[in-house]
Amino acid sequence: MRIGLLTDTHLPSTIRELWDEVRDIFTGVDLILHGGDIVSPRVLDWLDTIAPTLAARGNNDSGWDDPRVQDIHWLDLEGWRLAMIHDMEPEERPIEELKRYHLKGQHADIFITGHTHFERLDYRDGVLQMNTGSPTHPHLWSTRLGTVGLLDITQEKVEARIVRLGESAGLSNPGAEFFVEMKRG
């Protein structure tokens, strides 16, 4: 199973849809997960034209409801348990503390978060922790190409990567690319 990941689109008024680069990277994915701060439901509609889409509710996602959006999404994928929540700051706290505070003590093999606009990909204490940054406002900079993520999941392993979308004309992309592999046992 291949999953496209993104967060913090904050679709600004200067663009009507996400970048074509997002569509290019997500072509062929089985599912898209949006880590929140969608801002406009039309983002989810656009993503749904690529693959079924689920999203976490971000702190900027008020005033509208959508059945695809929940405060926390729990997914069991190929025997791995994934939790997606918008904000787990500070993300570097011990895994057990993050579980206790944000997930009511429940276990997850994979944490998908957002909120910071900074990409993060770690494997620690048996948990893959992933924040894909932002495809539209990387590192809280002005509107420009940023980063998204991909998860390739089988029963045996999970491969996670953060992908830079490229450079916007005249604007650098501060995002970094990462890759982590997690295996069973």
* pLDDT (tens digit per residue) in 145-166: 999 999 999 999 999 999 999 9
The region, left, alpha or beta by phi > 0 then psi within -120 to 50, assigned to residue 60 is alpha
pLDDT band for position 63 (cuts 50, 70, 90): confident
Count structural domains, the chain: 1
Over residues 110-127, the pLDDT tens digits come to 999 999 999 999 999 999
> What beta strand segments (E) does the chain contain?
2-6, 31-34, 53-56, 69-70, 72-77, 80-85, 110-113, 119-124, 127-132, 147-153, 157-164, 178-183
What residue numbers bound the domain in which 20 lies?
2-183
Of 132, 125, 113, the residue nearest 57 (C-alpha): 113
Burial category of 2 from C-beta neighbours within 10 Å (exposed 0-12, middle 13-18, buried 19 and up):
middle
pLDDT(13) > 90 = no
Considering the entire predicted model, what is its pTM?
A: 0.96
Q: Residue 140 maps to which CATH number?
A: 3.60.21.10
